[in-house]
Structures are given as C-alpha cells and as structure tokens.
Amino acid sequence: MRWIAALLIMAGRGLMSLGHNQARFVVDKGLTELSEHAVHPFQRMVAQALDVEIAP
C-alpha cells in the first residue's frame, strides 16, 4: 500500500503545476467514452462511501 501513497503524493505535486488551473470536465453531447460526464457522480459516491463531505 505504500506505493499507492507514493503515487498519490506524486500526482498531488503535479496538480500544483503553474501550467494548469482548475478546469471543468469535458462533456460531449453524445456522452461517449471520451466524455467525463460520469466523473463527478463517481467522486460523490466515493466520498459518500468514505463518509467525507465534498463541495457541491
């Protein structure tokens, strides 16, 4: 499980990049496999399962 923690730490460092700012999810009208329309509901389910409150 240590490798998972290390991976998350490295990913977090990448998120602090000056080249990227928070952006909206990409959703196409056809809701194809390229669309990220299911990401937010999935994140809510994970937060609920972990009993963590997230912003709406």
Task: Note the pTM of the prediction, 2 decimals.
Answer: 0.46
H/E run at residue 4: helix 2-15
DSSP 23-56: -PPP--TT--TT--TTHHHHHHHHHHHTT-----
Query: pLDDT at residue 3 above 70?
Result: yes
Indicate the domain borders of the chain.
24-56
The pLDDT, as a whole number, for residue 2 is: 80
- Note the Cα 36 to chain centre separation in Å: 10
Query: pLDDT at residue 29 above 80?
Result: yes
CB-based contact 28:17 (threshold 8 Å): no
16 contact partners, CB below 8 Å, separation of at least 6:
none
